[in-house]
Structure formats: C-alpha cells, structure tokens
C-alpha cells in the first residue's frame, strides 16, 4: 500500500479537517491537542498525520515531506504556492482578511489625503499587493502575532489581520475598515505525489469533496 503523509496544524485546522478525514475512513489514533507527538498514526496503517505550524504546512507539502496538507488561503498567499496543487476549497476555518484601525481613526480621510500609513502585519505579501492596488504608499512593519497591539502602542496606524467574530478587534478598541479578501482553508497536494500516488490520493480527494459544505 502506498504511504501517505498529511500535514495539519493543531487547533481549528485539525478540528475542522477531522470530518473530511473521517469521510475518507481516516481516524487519528492520538489527539494532537494533548499528545506531544508530532507524527500521529491513524487507523489506516499507510496514512499518518504530521503536526506542524499552520504557516509551515505548505512548505512540508511543497518539498514532498508530506503528500497532502490543509492550509488557510492567507498562509498559501504568503507562501506563493510553488509545487502545490490546490484542488479543493474545504470551506473551513473561514474568516476575512481585513484592514483595521483604532476606533477614532478616520481611515477614509487618511486614504483620500494620501497619508503615508504605517501598517503592521504578519501578511506582508497580501498587504503589499492590496495597498499597491489602491495606489497607496504604506510602510509595512512585519510582526509574527498579536497585530492588534501595534496601533495601541504607536507602532502602527493600521493593521492587516484575520477577523472572524470581530471580538478581538472590539476588545482592543479597533474597527475593521476594509475587507481585503475572504479566507478559508484549502486542501493542498504535492504536485509530484499527485502523479505518482494518484490511485491512492484520488479516492481520498473524492471523499473529501463529498463533505465540502456539509460540515
Ligand atoms: O497560532 P499560530 O501562530 O501557531 O498560527 P496561526 O495563527 O496561523 O494558526 P491558527 O491555527 O490560529 O490558524 C490557522 C488558520 O485558521 C489561519 O491560517 C486562517 O486561515 C484560519 N483562521 C480562521 C484564523 C481565524 N479564523 C482567526 N480568527 N486564524 C487566525 N485568527 C485570529 C486572528 O489573527 C485574530 O488574532 O483570531 C483573531 C481574531 O478572531 P476574532 O474571532 O476575535 O475576530
Ligand atoms: Mg493562531
């Protein structure tokens, strides 16, 4: 039997992917939330899961260390998608990539006046493309997390971040002023693996497809 490795990240991606795996008859034998194992066996002897940082999933799949993976479109846009097929939008882990500013900040006027804004974000490529398309000059500041703090302490005028409930923005006296794009998680497949292991991967893909929108 052909061995298959699937790269996932802990938390919402693992949880929301479980129903897709189940549809393909795959059940994890350990809970990555409590186990410290980074390689998790499944009920299928030829299928294993590897647990990596969300932003590292495309890299593992790109180099063939994993055959399949699940990654947010936010992560895929920053990665660039080299060596990957993205055949299926799983429609899970949904949120929006937004521009947000402090509650009292008049973003539209700042844009209209051509102000040069300082924007803090983990999503440099997405932010750069967005503001370039608007013809805005911005100074981007790369952060690795908790972007919401940056405007509160004078590090930036605005942030580009993911928003789902909006509670994090609200708790930090910020407001969303612009939607950049909707975001959901995609199934990704190593291009060479899809060719070489097609007979094993295709039925999995079909099973996943049958559950899209049902979860
Ligand atoms: O946490 P870690 O630094 O390891 O990595 P990560 O944050 O990239 O991973 P994880 O597991 O938190 O997110 C994995 C994927 O879930 C992301 O790549 C997105 O595609 C997707 N996703 C969906 C989200 C959210 N919703 C989300 N709300 N990722 C992050 N958030 C964060 C957001 O950055 C903000 O800080 O949640 C906060 C806002 O949430 P609300 O509900 O308060 O608006
Ligand atoms: Mg997170």
Q: How far is the CA of 24 from the centre of ligand 2 (A)?
A: 27
How far is residue 196's CA from residue 2's CA, in Å, rounded to a whole number?
10
Residue with tokens 């402090």: 102
| Domain residue ranges of the chain, discontinuous segments joined by + | 4-93+184-211, 95-182
CATH topology of domain 4-93+184-211: D-Maltodextrin-Binding Protein; domain 2 (3.40.190)
pTM across the whole model: 0.96
Q: Which two tokens stand for residue 10?
A: 């802990």
Q: Do domains 4-93+184-211 and 95-182 have the same CATH topology?
A: yes
pLDDT digits (tens, 9 = 90+) for 52-88: 999 999 999 999 999 999 999 999 999 999 999 999 9
User: Could you name the CATH architecture of 95-182?
Assistant: 3-Layer(aba) Sandwich (3.40)
The answer to whether the CB of 17 is under 6 A from ligand 1 is no
Is the pLDDT at 185 greater than 90? The verdict is yes
Q: How confident is the model at residue 1 (pLDDT cuts 50, 70, 90)?
A: confident
How far is residue 213's CA from residue 210's CA, in Å, rounded to a whole number?
9
DSSP secondary structure, 13-67, as one string = HHHHHHHHHHHTT--BSS-TTT---SEEEBSSTTEEEEE--GGGHHHHHHTTSSS
Ligand 1 nearest-atom number relative to CA 73: 20
Pocket test for ligand 1, best of 93, 179, 181 (most atoms within 8 A of CB): 93
pLDDT digits (tens, 9 = 90+) for 26-35: 999 999 999 9
Q: How far is the CA of 101 from the centre of ligand 2 (A)?
A: 20
The chain-wide mean pLDDT, for the chain, equals 97
Question: Taking a C-beta distance cutoff of 8 angstroms, is the pair 134, 85 a contact?
Answer: no
DSSP secondary structure, 119-165, as one string = EEES-HHHHHHHHHHTT--EEEEE-SS-GGGGGGGTS-SEEEEEESS
How far is residue 143's CA from residue 145's CA, in Å, rounded to a whole number?
6
């Amino acid at each position: 039997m052909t061995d298959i490795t699937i790269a996932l990240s802990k938390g919402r991606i693992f949880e929301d992917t479980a129903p897709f795996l189940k549809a393909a008859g795959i059940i994890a034998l350990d809970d990555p939330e409590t186990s410290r194992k980074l390689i998790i066996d499944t009920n299928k002897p030829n299928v294993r899961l590897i647990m990596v940082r969300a932003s590292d999933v495309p890299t593992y799949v790109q180099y063939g260390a994993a055959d399949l993976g699940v990654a947010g479109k936010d992560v895929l846009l920053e990665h660039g998608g080299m060596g990957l097929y993205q055949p299926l939008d799983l429609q899970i882990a949904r949120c929006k990539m937004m521009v947000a500013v402090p509650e009292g900040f008049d973003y539209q006027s700042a844009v209209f006046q051509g102000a040069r804004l300082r924007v803090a974000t983990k999503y440099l490529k997405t932010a750069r493309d967005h503001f370039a398309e608007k013809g805005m000059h911005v100074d981007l500041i790369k952060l690795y997390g908790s972007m919401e703090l940056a405007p509160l302490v004078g590090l930036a005028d605005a942030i580009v971040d993911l928003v789902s409930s909006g509670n994090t923005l609200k708790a930090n006296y910020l407001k969303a002023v612009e939607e950049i794009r909707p975001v959901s998680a995609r199934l990704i497949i190593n291009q060479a693996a899809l060719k070489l292991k097609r007979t094993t991967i295709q039925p999995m893909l079909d099973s996943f497809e049958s559950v899209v929108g049902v979860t």
